[in-house]
Amino acid sequence: MATQTKRATIYFDPILHKALRLKAVETSRSVSELVNEAVKEALLEDAEDLVAFDDRSDDPLISYDEMVKRLRKDGRI
């Protein structure tokens, strides 16, 4: 079954666009395929981050000041 797609206009920095076109040629893929893959990977990373945030939601909170004091005490800064 064919996948439905939506059209969007994206403005790239000229150098980025050139690199993207070159990669598309080198990999025998379209620019759209490369952009879709990159966006999916970014969204997957966001989803993984959200899971990690949920997993740590019960962790005790610590202030920035306290964290700096602990780092100094432990000799890390």
Average pLDDT of the chain, as a whole number: 94
pLDDT at 3: 77
Residue span of the structural domain in which 46 resides = 16-58
pLDDT digits (tens, 9 = 90+) for 39-70: 999 999 999 999 998 999 898 899 999 999 99
For the chain, what is the domain count?
A: 1
How far is residue 58's CA from residue 56's CA, in Å, rounded to a whole number? 5
Which pTM was predicted? 0.68
Q: pLDDT band at 2, cuts 50/70/90?
A: low
Domain assignment of residue 21, yes or no: yes
Query: What angle do helix axes 14-27 and 31-55 make, rounded to 10 degrees?
Result: 100
What mean pLDDT comes out for the span 28-41? 97
Q: In this structure, is residue 46 part of a structural domain?
A: yes
